[in-house]
Structure 1
Amino acid sequence: MNDGTKHKRGIDEGSDFFEEFNAFSARLRQKILSLRKEKKLTQEQMEAFELTLRQFQRIESGETTNPTLANLFKIAKALGISPSQLLDI
């Protein structure tokens, strides 16, 4: 049902899950950054995997706290791991 209010993607600060979600998001960002550096990939090289530079920068910096499943899938493939391995944090 659409009540006319705009809902942001993610978990609201008032949610019981907010702190846990933020911690999960931070661990995921750190894992992406660590694996990218381990693979010696630059943020610019991630564009070859159908992610724009800006999309990837926003995910890695935490500006985007709720990346889409499609983008997580692309990141996993770019890092040479499965999506389930990426999310195993």
Structure 2
Amino acid sequence: MSQPVTEAMVYDALKQVVDPELRHNIVELGFIQDMDIIDDYVHLEIQLTTPTCPYADKIMEQIRLAVQGIEGVNRVEVERACMRAS
């Protein structure tokens, strides 16, 4: 039996995902807004730099792949947070 999936494990995996424009990982950039882990399921809510980010699909797929690579994770959902007007 594998160990439970933790936030630290997910953040470590996400440090491998780099924004192609800003050239920093998404953890350093603060893109992760919310994280829920329930057994082997991980749900992430992210906020990119702009609503029309040209790399959104690529970044979201890299996030999914990085988190799916964690032992014990069987399902990953990545959702973009709504940007709020100030």
* TM-score strictly above 0.5: no
**TM-score, normalisation: structure 2:** 0.34
Q: Which has the higher strand share?
A: 2
Q: Which has the higher helix share?
A: 1
Structure number with greater Rg is: 1
**TM-score, normalisation: structure 1:** 0.33
